[in-house]
Every structure is written in C-alpha cells, then in structure tokens.
Amino acid sequence: NAGVTQTPKFRVLKTGQSMTLLCAQDMNHEYMYWYRQDPGMGLRLIHYSVGEGTTAKGEVPDGYNVSRLKKQNFLLGLESAAPSQTSVYFCASSYTTSGENEQFFGPGTRLTVL
Amino acid sequence: SQQGEEDPQALSIQEGENATMNCSYKTSINNLQWYRQNSGRGLVHLILIRSNEREKHSGRLRVTLDTSKKSSSLLITASRAADTASYFCATVRLSNDMRFGAGTRLTVKP
C-alpha cells in the first residue's frame, strides 16, 4: 500500500497563477483533509471531506477550493495564488472522523508563490 | 487559532536520557493526539488519549492527560538518535475539528 500520496512535491508559482494539488489514498478512507504548515506554527485545516462528493470548510479556507469526485482522491485548488499562500501543504485521511481515529499524512507539497 | 501549545519549543538531550514534552490547551476536548514529524516528512500518529483516560503507553512512549489542568505530557524513555523529530499535540473538540500546536523540536545527540 502506498498510503497517502501527494503530487507534486514542489512547485513555484507567480502571483495570480493557478494550480491544483492532488492527494490520493489507497486505504479506502472516508475522510480526507488538507492542511497547511507554516514556520513556527502547527498545521491548520483548510478544507476537509467526509465522503465522496462532499466538502467542508476548515479553519483557513479563503483562497482555496477543493473537490472530492472520487473517494480515493482529494484535490486542492488555488485559483489566483498569492505570496501568503507560500507554505507546505499536507493531505491526510482517516477511516472515520478525526475525533475517533488517527489521521494518515502524505509527504507534503512545498509551494512557493513569488 | 491553535488549540494546543507545546512546551518547550526545543529540547536537546543525550541518547539514553528521557524526554518530556508538555501540551496545554484552553477548551474542553474529546481526545488528544500526539504526532511525530521527521524533517521534510509528513506527520506520523503516535498515541490517541481520550478525555476519560489519564495515561496510555505505547512502547517507549507514555502519555498522560489531566483534564482539570487542561494539559498533557509525552514522555519518551531511553531516547535514541532516531527519535530526533518535531512532536505535535493535536486536540479534538468536535468531530473533524482537530487543532495542532506549534510543536516541540527534539534533538537527541548520539
């Protein structure tokens, strides 16, 4: 099992450009999450999904959109990138709600917006 | 906003010593989880402790939870160089509302 994988690993964007980060999990998990991690801070939840076709806002959703068309995939989109979105992005998944189960994390995507 | 705050921010010890990290939080929780992050990698789950539990063990790890003081501690016994990593506590109040602290950076010198 690959667990949770993220594509790409690194990306550099110019302000105003758009991009999509892809997260895939092969554990048949219902729940998937997108976080960002900034220096000196813990992870902050951007959006999450409790199942195929559903999405919900987390703590810092502004400037991001997500889609969960297939159970195994969770996409994070930046429509018009801003320097404030420079960060490391982590995807995670869990069998049920994070309130009951551990989350499994991908290796991260390091994004720089110039 | 962060729910948990780890203390200390950084800890450096010799191999074989014990390492203790603390986490304090502000509101009532359903459970608290500890994660480890090696440099440049994703987080790995260590232990989940529920609000009605006081202590849990997993190998060389011991986690305590004091809900009256709104605090938790992670003890790593007989530390190894491979334990060098950042350790995060995450508090869960409601379903899917998991908040991470800023982490403790542990360095274990061989």
Q: How far is CA A51 from CA A30, A48, A67, B76, in A?
A: 5, 9, 11, 36
CATH code, B61: 2.60.40.10
| Cα B84 from Cα B110, distance rounded (Å) | 10
- Which residues are registered as beta bridge partners of A4? A25
Q: Give A89→chain B minimum CA distance, Å.
A: 10
Considering chain B, what is the average pLDDT of its residues? 92
Domain range for B16 is: 5-109
Test A99 with B102 for CB contact under 8 angstroms.
no
Bond prior to A8 in cis (omega within 30° of 0) = yes
Pairwise CA distance, residues B83 & B80, whole Å? 5
B28-79 per-position pLDDT tens digit: 898 999 999 999 899 999 999 999 999 999 999 999 999 999 999 999 999 9
Q: How many domains are contained in chain B?
A: 1
pLDDT tens-digit series, residues A20-48: 999 999 999 999 999 999 987 889 999 99
Contacts B31 to A, Cβ<8 Å:
99-100
SS3 content of chain B, % helix, strand, coil (to 5): 5, 55, 40
pLDDT attached to residue B96: 66
